[in-house]
Chains A and B, each alone.
Chain A
């Protein structure tokens, strides 16, 4: 195991550990408003300053990390599995199945899903707990985010279809699910890993963007995405550098994820 990988494991465990211990580590609850000091720069009391309504940004980052770090990989896993199922099977079965599956995938890529999400919000009660709302949001993201990978997977498994080892496996009597699971799926891993890795930050950011539809994390609960959205108001870089803390942490986590994954990737390859 290379040094990078070890570092990545340490970083990931540290971030997970610290965010899980938010209750003890955070100087205050994520909703506590220090109304006398809104928009404060970092101080000894507030390590990352306070936000527009005077909430401790460090506390919000810890709690936000906990929610996003738990749910985003889960949603990424759902989307990866769906991609594997649709794309992998379509390519593996080939013919008419592949064409239909890919037409569906293409449609998925082009339709204005925004409106489905608006409808989902309308179907949910207004007094939904912030946690339930964020769960639904990540679930929706997982269900809608599989399409790009499915396209690539279909191409991959289609190219496997004619390959020697599959014919060999077939000849030795391996069929159906077993053939797919044992011989096709392992060859799809490079794509699956890529999909999983990309989905995590993409879902974290999408969750925050869905706030405009009343989905996602509801106030006062923080999420990584909503903290990152603060960067959108930045008129000049370097004015308030502490606002970059969530971005740096997310990059750290995403990079660590990749380095940890790449270990398995190489083994699979």
Chain B
């Protein structure tokens, strides 16, 4: 597949040196170099960033910082969902999907002044593919055994060859900031619009404008406009909201629907609903054969009729309307309709009908006795749903589901657990019956979900680490997932993955509940913000944002 940028940056057409010279001239003319006065943008990180090393990043806070500080070869435009050239002005993926060749812009340098060359790309890739690294970013490139070869063709051209084809290879580079092979400042030397200037653990991360950032706007003004970004570490959303209302914060990147409505009622100009996001909420039943739960319960959970009946008995419209106050859409399947290319448009959200659910259960031998549903052997249908504590929306969804299922005679116990306890149950000792969690999709490409769909994978939540697929439909999913990964043809890949989506909806190993909308709040002092559904929703164009000074 040839990675041709759909939307060409004007600057990309002009050789790098000329750009630099032109900008330098402009600055002299305008006499405003270094004093653009774009202001300071302030918002909250929900957790402590675990690392500033862009290759080791895994948590949301660190991802945000990486997005703001890291310079990548190509960038997926968060608005158009298309790939655009950044540090590389062009690239090419080989037919077999194993090799990618980048042509780099010349004359760029890191924030500390170290020049950026092809050997830095080689260094970054070698660091990233180090088997001892174990980072999600690196593992996403690992499609098979073998080592990665980098070949420096010239100081601005490099070819990277992978041992086996990597599906959606070019898009993955959106997550890989280039590191300097030589800078003494190591990962703190960056190529992105901002750089970390100060970090007070537990309190703030202060980003300052990178003076060596290469990009300029259409008028030739140096980007970014902002002088600095102040990130306060604040896990509590109530406090975040309080401080936003007081004008101490300029934006809330993902706003709770409750607060969305509260703000909307008083100052509608502050809130933005960008529509359904990629994130989904789902529940599933434990189908692990060695799980320490009664055999008759395992039989329910492995029965297709049972799972489908549950899916049918859940009122998704109510989940969306009551729990998310309308700022969510009933989910269809593994891919959110917001993922325009990969979503299978033949699929529709499961309609709600408790009568139909009950009928389906009766065909499976269940019967309703004095309001209690019993299975063939007379066991009353009682099970628990575990979910993580501290997420009030998930807890409320569980309460609604509990009530929906009570209507068909099931008794559901909702158990909220702290995250480590929950993970131990769902991923290590499998001591649970049903679980409810959300899935955050970082990338649009379904190849990222390989470790969810393969029956042998660790994250095949309902029944992970199968030696051989235990059911025919799981075997079929395995085959289709492998087929799409091996193909470089987007259309063929889409066909395979459409079938995967259809099988998953049909078999309901995951019962998809809703897709949340991307909600945000942005102060009117912030100019040129246009929130999108992809992370980072509000500050994806941070380099072009400005904040008016407070009056």
Contacts and interface: CB of A to CB of B under 8 A. Distances in A.
Instruction: State if A and B touch, Cβ cutoff 8 Å.
Output: yes
Interface of A: 31, 33, 35, 38, 52-54, 118, 121-122, 126-128, 130, 211-214, 218-220, 232-236, 239
Nearest to A38: B322
Nearest to B398: A219
Interface of B: 238, 241-242, 245, 258-259, 262, 318, 322-323, 382-384, 386, 389-390, 392, 395-396, 398-400, 402-403, 413-418, 421, 431-433
B415 A52 contact: no
B421 A127 contact: no
Q: Is the interface of A mostly helix, strand, loop or mixed?
A: loop
A235 B245 contact: yes
B322 A52 contact: yes
A220 B403 contact: yes
A126 B413 contact: yes
Residue with the highest number of chain A CB atoms closer than 10 Å, among B390, B413, B421, B431: B413
A219 B262 contact: no
B403 A212 contact: no
Contacts of A118: 418, 421
Given A211-B416, A213-B418, A52 B245 contact: no
A35 B415 contact: no
6 tightest A-B CB contacts, nearest first: A212-B389, A126-B384, A219-B414, A214-B417, A214-B415, A38-B322
A60 B149 CA distance: 65
B322 A211 contact: no
Given A130-B413, A211-B416, A214-B389, 8 more contacts: A33-B403, A53-B399, A121-B417, A127-B382, A218-B413, A219-B398, A219-B402, A235-B241
Nearest to A114: B418
Contacts of B398: 219
14 contacts: A33-B403, A52-B258, A53-B396, A121-B417, A126-B386, A218-B414, A219-B398, A219-B414, A220-B399, A233-B238, A233-B258, A235-B238, A235-B262, A236-B245
B389 A127 contact: no
Given A127-B413, A128-B413, A121 B421 contact: yes
Contact of B400 (A33, A211, A214, A239): A33
Nearest to A129: B413
B382 A35 contact: no
Contacts of B416: 211-212, 214
Contact of A53 (B384, B389, B400, B413): B400
A77 to B, nearest CB: 29
Given A122-B421, A126-B432, A54 B322 contact: yes
Contacts of B322: 35, 38, 52-54
Contacts of B318: 35
B415 A218 contact: yes
B406 to A, nearest CB: 8
A40 to B, nearest CB: 12
Contacts of B384: 126-127
A126 B403 contact: no
B242 to A, nearest CB: 6
A54 B395 CA distance: 14
